[in-house]
Structure 1
């Protein structure tokens, strides 16, 4: 069969054959030798950038290092300068893969990956999606993503969708009328899998539930659904499994790096240890024991065009106690470091705590379709929600009581019923945001 997706990568200058061969050789490294492989790649990439990248030399302050812990933790703020200043010798905007982060952390920036490391990223995708019988060349994807609204950007994305063997459902309008059209498309197309932003896919599942429809019954070819970019709560996962009738796979990645973790068929969130080195650090940049929460700090072991060495991605999580160098398991991902509410008492609480408590109360009856929470003052929070009917006084009282119980008393909540919620220009829904 003609492999259009492979051809599109080759035309774009990504050396896929070499990358896939190397990816297989990495996977073949025995467990007992894996710590040595990681240590070698850490030293190799750090030494390369200390010799060939003036931005990284300046950041470190010298051209050599003795201990990995001596290297600074790289933040997104430090990357918010012209890309040209950050590229290694021999790499330019024209001979690298250049893109922009989504800005969901509040700190967007332009980045570069050399074409070989980007080919390795695709090899990583091929391997992990293959766990579920998905082949990018032959499997037809139903894609729930944003899309540029300018004409040139729109048609460029549509061309990429064609080459990528996928059909895109733009997620800026998630009204019942639009979701009815989505359902009709599933009835007429032989989709193999669903991929896209969690909140949009969950909203589609709620639409199906209200109509007592299981998606697999109208689209029997469906095998699996991969959700990405936003938190997937356990009850939402159950909802998706029930209404789609297929396995739900949780994906965690970053465009500037690679797939970071991908749920394996055993249900574990398996870290990509082939091309990345993941550390969990405390506030003093010291590693924490497995099982303990901290900041997720990641090193791209192969990107020579641009340093991502001990890069603080802005998320908080923990590795499982059973993790090994080769098979590292992400135990939990609890949100972003900037999604923290600071309460009047001085207590700090992950913003998703509010979201989780509120979600457990107001979604019981299916009235509320989705909602977001914003902290506008130390003691004041706005909850914007989309629903068929206004929240009742009883529901509001339950939310306030639950938050007082789990966090503290004396907080004020302003409830705003909306017809739609504001999403980013890429279609992501930021579930909690502190405006302080």
Structure 2
């Protein structure tokens, strides 16, 4: 087997073999010693940045610390300044991996990883995909992702797809005509796995349901499907398992960090405790007990080029009570902090509550393909939807009755039927948005 993927990483200066050895050492640390490993790595990375990173020194206000909880929580807003001002001593743009966050939280910024940190990120991803017998050098990926539409960006991504053994389906147009062409590709090519944005793969699953086709009947080599970047609802997971014919694996990650949590073969959302330290904090930035919801705050244990120490990613979640330092389990990912609806009564509710309630009603007959909800005023919401036929007044009554039951009454809705929903530049569907 020709290890083209590994070779590409090496040629770009990412020491993948060294990173793999390092990761294997971490994985062998016994559970009873793991808390010690985490404490050492946390202190080591914080001390490094306090000595070598003027941006972080200024943020902390001193170059020493006693208690971990005394260190500030970094927000995305803190990072919206030129990259060269945030790089550690001895690192320049030419010697680091540079990328941009997707901006799905509304706060995009450019970030950097040193080459060793980027290599261990890849080692961690390769390890987790290996749980499902996926090998990045030999397994063929069907990729449902966005793609830059400028000439240079488009060509660059297509080259990366070839080197990474994947075939990309751009997701900006997922009409039935395009979905039929995608199905044709699955008949022609021996894909091993699917990876991509949840909403796009769900749309493909609904198309297969309408055609009464199970994907593994036309593409028997398919083993597994990994969904990422957007919320996966239980009924969508059931639909995908039935019509794709393979296990559906839920992935939670961030380009600036790593895979944060990845569903293990036991069905648990296992948090990455090898390269990251994940905390759940309250509104005062104090740790909460496992089982309690709070802000997800993450420390990158290996990135020396750029500090991600107690970095507030913008999501709300709960760690399972059974979590250990070696194997933390993400019990629930509730949504983004920017996706909270504030109601006239003063009640705060995750925007996904609207989405979930509405979804459970209007999808009964499969007419509505997808929709988004937007809060425009305290008591006013807009629902944009794509459907074969217009919503009936009876369906609208049902939606508003359910929302009054689950949230509160007296809210006003307008419904806009669209041919296509607006996605981000990367092709993500922002399911709920508050304009307040």
Q: What TM-score comes out, normalization by structure 2 length? A: 1.00
Q: Is 1:72 matched up with 2:68?
A: no
Deviation at 1:117, TM superposition (A): 0.5
Deviation at 1:346, TM superposition (A): 1.1
Matched residue, 1:419: 419
SS in 2 for 1:381: strand
Deviation at 1:166, TM superposition (A): 0.3
- C-alpha distance after superposition, 1:240-269 (max 9, x if no partner): 000011000000000000000000000000
Matched residue, 2:19: 19
Structure 1 CA distance, aligned partners of 2:137 and 2:193? 13
- C-alpha distance after superposition, 1:390-427 (max 9, x if no partner): 00101000110111111111100000000000000100
Matched residue, 1:302: 302
Matched residue, 2:397: 397
Matched residue, 1:8: 8
Q: Is 1:351 matched up with 2:351?
A: yes
Aligned residues: 436
Matched residue, 1:247: 247
Matched residue, 1:234: 234
Aligned pairs for 1:368-387 (under 5 A) are 368-387=368-387
Deviation at 1:17, TM superposition (A): 1.0
Q: Is 1:183 matched up with 2:183?
A: yes
SS in 1 for 2:292: coil
Structure 1 CA distance, aligned partners of 2:388 and 2:95? 51
Matched residue, 1:45: 45
Gaps of 5+ in 2: none
- C-alpha distance after superposition, 1:134-167 (max 9, x if no partner): 0001000000000010110000000000000000
- C-alpha distance after superposition, 1:110-142 (max 9, x if no partner): 000000000000000110000000000100000
- C-alpha distance after superposition, 1:78-118 (max 9, x if no partner): 00000010000001111000000000000000000000000
Structure 2 CA distance, aligned partners of 1:11 and 1:376? 49
Gaps of 5+ in 1: none
Matched residue, 1:63: 63
Aligned pairs for 1:135-150 (under 5 A) are 135-150=135-150
Aligned pairs for 1:140-289 (under 5 A) are 140-289=140-289
Deviation at 1:50, TM superposition (A): 0.2
Deviation at 1:2, TM superposition (A): 1.1
Matched residue, 1:116: 116
SS in 2 for 1:111: strand
Structure 1 CA distance, aligned partners of 2:151 and 2:63? 47
- C-alpha distance after superposition, 1:328-348 (max 9, x if no partner): 100000100010011111111
Q: Is 1:102 matched up with 2:110?
A: no
Matched residue, 1:93: 93
Deviation at 1:352, TM superposition (A): 0.3
Structure 1 CA distance, aligned partners of 2:257 and 2:126? 16
Matched residue, 2:323: 323
Structure 2 CA distance, aligned partners of 1:393 and 1:222? 42
- C-alpha distance after superposition, 1:270-295 (max 9, x if no partner): 00000000000000111111011000
Q: Is 1:432 matched up with 2:432?
A: yes
Structure 2 CA distance, aligned partners of 1:423 and 1:322? 37
SS in 1 for 2:135: coil
How large is the RMSD of aligned CA atoms in angstroms? Answer: 0.4
Deviation at 1:232, TM superposition (A): 0.2
Matched residue, 1:363: 363
Matched residue, 2:29: 29
Q: What TM-score comes out, normalization by structure 1 length? A: 1.00
Structure 2 CA distance, aligned partners of 1:178 and 1:270? 35
Structure 2 CA distance, aligned partners of 1:350 and 1:266? 28
SS in 2 for 1:385: strand
Structure 1 CA distance, aligned partners of 2:345 and 2:67? 40
Q: Is 1:129 matched up with 2:129?
A: yes
SS in 2 for 1:139: coil
Structure 1 CA distance, aligned partners of 2:208 and 2:71? 50
Structure 2 CA distance, aligned partners of 1:19 and 1:97? 15
SS in 2 for 1:94: helix
SS in 2 for 1:203: helix
Structure 2 CA distance, aligned partners of 1:327 and 1:346? 38
